[in-house]
Amino acid sequence: MSREEHPTRRSALLSFRFLFSAALGSALMGLVAAFGSPSAQLACLGCLISVVSGLFLAYLGQEEERESRRNAAVESLSVPLALAGDPAVFRVYRCLCDGLLAVAQLPGGILREAVVQKLESVTGQVAELGEGRMTFALTEGWRTVYERLLLSPGLKSYRSVAWVRTKDYWQDAPGRESMRANFEAVNRGVVIERIVILSDSLWPSEASAPSSNIRPWLKEQHGRGVRVSIVREVEIEREPDLFTDTGIYGTKAVGVQELDEASRTLKFTLDLDPQSVGEAEERWKRLRLYARAFE
């Protein structure tokens, strides 16, 4: 089997143009040196020095340009090389690259502009993920991550704030499944503390205990080992930043859930930033001052 022969790079010093120019220049210099006056010889020498200096500077400029191209090539390779050690992320990177190549081949026009605009929004989402923040909008898919975090090895505590405005809070199938994950986590030794903020309709100011519409849900958690505390909305109305559905997964992450009036999920944001976790912990401790244990 014969090997494919690769053409070797030839030095520019051996090119016809360079050799012809050098020979012609040398001949002219020789004639001037032999027959020219001293002033002509001096002028010719000055021209020679200028030409050589110009060639040298041009060479340096070309070297800088080549170095810049080499650095750009190495930099373009740095991303895939850095990701090569993580097969899962590298697989996603390859898929993204394939998609971008396909987009680059689309014909120009309104459709291509719309695709590029969509890609720009995707880059924002990727940057958000890189900062350790994930957002789930108008979907219950976040509960999968929620349950996996609750049952993850090493989790010792989970502090939750449930802002309950209707009796339907977490009463649908996904909500009940998440409650079962809570009970399983308790059985595995995770300390779960939940502060429940109740609306006036679920805990009227004149009543000594929450209404029967929500009491079974509270009682079930209390009976299964969740440390439940309760507080009325009116008691914390001067601290509006405490009105939030929050879950603090030890020191790992904090999740914030936004609900509509029917207690359906609008958005769930999971944040791994230690500062965000610390701020959520500080709010939880402030809310704890208003709450009382459910019995």
Q: Is the pLDDT of residue 148 over 50?
A: yes
Domain identity same for 197 and 243: yes
Q: What does residue 209 show for φ and ψ, rounded to 5 degrees?
A: -145, 160
* Six-digit token string for 211: 């209404």
Output the pLDDT for position 240: 95
Output the pLDDT for position 215: 95
Instruction: Among 71, 99, 130, identify where a domain stops.
Output: 130
- The CA distance from 38 to 72, in Å, is 51
**What is the percent of the chain with per-residue pLDDT over 90, rounded to a whole number?**
46
Q: How many domains does the chain have?
A: 3
Residue 6 domain-assigned? Answer: no
Closest by CA to 257, choosing from 101, 114, 123, 140, is 140
Average pLDDT of every residue of the chain: 84
Residues 200 and 234 sit within 8 Å (Cβ to Cβ): yes
- The CA distance from 230 to 193, in Å, is 11
* Residue 20 pLDDT level (bands cut at 50, 70, 90): low
Query: For 119-123, what is the mean pLDDT?
Result: 86
Query: For 185-200, what is the mean pLDDT?
Result: 97
Treating both helix axes as pointing N-terminal to C-terminal, what angle do 38-83 and 87-104 enclose, rounded to 10 degrees?
120
Output the pLDDT for position 6: 47
Instruction: Among 130, 155, 183, identify where a domain stops.
Output: 130
| Domain region containing 126 | 87-130
Higher-pLDDT residue of 11, 115: 115
Q: Is the pLDDT of residue 207 over 50?
A: yes
Query: For 152-173, what is the mean pLDDT?
Result: 94
Higher-pLDDT residue of 109, 5: 109
What CATH number has the domain bearing residue 249? 3.30.870.10
Domain identity same for 172 and 97: no
* Residue 23 pLDDT level (bands cut at 50, 70, 90): low
Q: What is the pTM of this model?
A: 0.68
Q: Is the pLDDT of residue 271 over 60?
A: yes
Residue 64 domain-assigned? Answer: no
- The CA distance from 180 to 213, in Å, is 20
Query: For 83-104, what is the mean pLDDT?
Result: 85
**278-292 pLDDT, tens per residue?**
999 999 999 999 999
Query: For 119-126, what is the mean pLDDT?
Result: 86
Domain identity same for 97 and 201: no
- The CA distance from 145 to 253, in Å, is 11
Output the pLDDT for position 10: 52
Q: Is the pLDDT of residue 11 over 60?
A: no
Output the pLDDT for position 18: 58
Strand order across the beta sheet in which 292-293 lies:
133-137, 265-271, 253-259, 245-249, 157-164, 191-198, 227-232, 292-293
Q: Is the pLDDT of residue 118 over 80?
A: yes
